[in-house]
């Protein structure tokens, strides 16, 4: 447990963390799908990303253990991500801070929820992107 400041600052900090998490997850999905579609092997992409400036806990510890192995069981559900993004976007409006990437992420996660993935892990965002690109990314 970390002390974040006066009453309410902990909630703000959590929303900021979850906003950034959603944006990073979306970027990972798009980037990996683009790379594989353009001819890079998933293994090579992962090797480079694990060592490069785009390295993130989400890729190192989560994507490679969940969706890239076909596991959609919720660690953090699409439903919860949608709720958190809604709250972050509301806070952005209240504070007059534009959250362009957050708004785009909310639309994408909302579409995923509408496709019936509300109870699935948020990394299932990869699935419709794979389908639209005509590729499948899995670690064997």
* Residue numbers annotated as active site: 14
SS3 assignment, position 39: coil
Token pair 């510890």 in the structure block, residue: 61
Sign of CA dihedral 48, 44, 105, 82: negative
* Alpha carbon distance 68, 137 (integer Å): 6
Query: CA dist 86 to 5, 35, 50, 127, Å?
Result: 23, 30, 31, 22
Cα separation, 61 vs 55, in Å, equals 11
The answer to whether 16 and 48 have CB atoms below 8 angstroms apart is no
């Amino acid at each position: 447990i970390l002390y974040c400041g006066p009453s309410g600052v902990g909630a703000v900090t959590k929303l900021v963390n979850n906003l950034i998490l959603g944006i990073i997850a979306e970027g990972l999905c798009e980037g990996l799908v683009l790379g594989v579609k353009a001819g890079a092997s998933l293994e090579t992409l992962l090797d480079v990303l694990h060592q490069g400036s785009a390295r993130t806990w989400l890729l190192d510890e989560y994507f490679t253990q969940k969706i890239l192995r076909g596991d959609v069981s919720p660690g953090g559900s699409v439903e919860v991500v949608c709720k958190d993004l809604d709250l972050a976007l509301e806070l952005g409006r209240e504070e007059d801070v534009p959250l362009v990437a957050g708004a785009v992420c909310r639309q994408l996660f909302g579409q995923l929820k509408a496709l019936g993935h509300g109870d699935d892990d948020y990394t299932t965002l990869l699935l419709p992107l794979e389908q639209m690109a005509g590729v499948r990314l899995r670690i064997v």
